[in-house]
A and B are shown apart, each in its own frame.
Chain A
């Protein structure tokens, strides 16, 4: 559906997007993740035709970004980062204006306006000035703006910023619902949001794609070794280290002595593919140590994200 080939964008000397290659299939919900200034917004802006790439090309369906930009703009519904809207128009007038600019048939536009107003929960503000709306309603109107012409591709730049937790849930559900038939690309730096809504995640760092896959794939692919945390009482530090290090699969053991407390805290790094919890528990059972804490820290998206985007 969308093929991004060697996409590069320079702002004067600064490279915002560096040689991005990405293929997005029909019906996928793809999350673009990355720290601020990673190049997410720039990538989305190029896809929507707001910016033109320095090098590289984008193919959407059979259309080429440089040659058939108008056709591509027809296919795409776009929600910019903070939805910029005409403050002195009424909500309904704005959507009607949008329908006219998009050259939609009058009847079709009318029925779509009704539909998106219901979908985005805008009934109560239909005849209000856009400038008077709260941030949440403006964001929803932004989403309505993106949905109005029933586009095949939806591009959402941080769709849930400024919304309260209930609205965030509503919008996520809406995105998932839309994503059943449409292709959705959204950018966010809220990882739980990406995990909750997206089929696939693409992590961008300093203009490069550094990871691409489902959250499961990302977790498996990283060479993260699980760490088991132990809190023990009535134990001797050296004894514990020597006994536990005999278990096969243990890579190293670190001790952390929290001064005021009377127990010892150990961090046991394990071999990446092994779950050592049972063996460690069995070993501890045979001693007279008192077990206060025992948990395994597993790979989270936050960790992967940190690993991939913190170096340099």
Chain B
């Protein structure tokens, strides 16, 4: 346990020591803030709907930018050799890096809590969908972090890791908006694969075990493939 915590702490420290973390947080807040408030006053509704509607797409860009370095950089600099020769299992490494990623996502979401606080001062905010949305955002962030980790374990080039990660996340974020392209017979099937569809359920305030199961399996599959990729490097 101490080992996991040590790597987790180091990865988080790496994020906050470098300016990249602050830049990513700033960009994230800027984009979400602008999209949210530009429609908020027009709609005149005391809800976070427009924020949560855009979140999957914004996450699809921001999270791969955070996770791209987690393995790629270690391969590139060669520190992976040091890491792997320490008495750690690959599972320890994958899990601690994943936890560091998701911690960062949580830290990034934290300032956005000011939006519902602000709204609740202005109108009558229904806290149910807000709580659901934030829980869903953590699941969504976890799934995208796992995907980003996977693409980072594919290559030592961070740019490639980022582009591939964005591609996969973006597909999951928009596929339920593209349903009219698919034949009717597989619609349900495609919809079930869309991360956005499951996330929007959370954002409505519905916490369904099917949605939780979807995100947990996505996380599990992502981490498992990452583990296989690292194993194949030997």
Q: Residues of A with Cβ closer than 8 Å to B?
A: 45, 48-52, 70-71, 73-74, 76, 78, 80, 82-89, 97-98, 100-103, 145
Contacts and interface: CB of A to CB of B under 8 A. Distances in A.
B10 interface: yes
Given A88-B17, A103-B2, A50 B84 contact: yes
Nearest to B83: A101
A84 B75 CA distance: 10
B208 interface: no
A101 B88 CA distance: 8
Interface string B77-105: 11111101111110000000000000000
Contacts of B14: 86, 88
Given A49-B85, A50-B84, A73-B85, A97 B6 contact: yes
Interface of B: 2-3, 5-7, 9-10, 13-14, 17-18, 77-82, 84-89, 234
A84 B2 contact: no
A76 B82 CA distance: 12
B87 A84 contact: no
Nearest to B87: A73
Given A51-B234, A88-B18, A97-B6, A102 B86 contact: yes
Interface of B (DSSP majority class):
helix
A70 to B, nearest CB: 5
B12 to A, nearest CB: 12
A101 B3 contact: yes
3 closest A-B pairs by CB: A84-B78, A100-B6, A73-B87
Given A101-B3, A103-B2, A84 B85 contact: no
A253 to B, nearest CB: 54
B187 to A, nearest CB: 44
11 contacts: A73-B86, A80-B78, A80-B82, A87-B77, A88-B14, A97-B6, A97-B9, A100-B6, A100-B9, A101-B7, A103-B87
B87 A74 contact: yes
Contacts, number: 67
Contacts of B234: 50-52
A112 B178 CA distance: 60
A103 B3 contact: yes
Contact of A85 (B3, B7, B13, B82): B82
A42 to B, nearest CB: 12
Contact of B87 (A80, A82, A88, A102): A102
B18 A80 contact: no
Nearest to B92: A101
Nearest to B82: A84
Contacts of B2: 100, 103
Given A100-B6, A102-B87, 18 more contacts: A50-B234, A52-B234, A73-B86, A73-B88, A74-B87, A80-B78, A85-B79, A85-B82, A86-B77, A88-B17, A89-B10, A98-B86, A100-B2, A100-B3, A100-B5, A101-B88, A102-B86, A103-B2
Contacts of A52: 234
B49 to A, nearest CB: 40
A70 B86 CA distance: 8
Contacts of B3: 100-103
Given A80-B78, A84-B79, A88-B14, A48 B85 contact: yes
B71 to A, nearest CB: 14
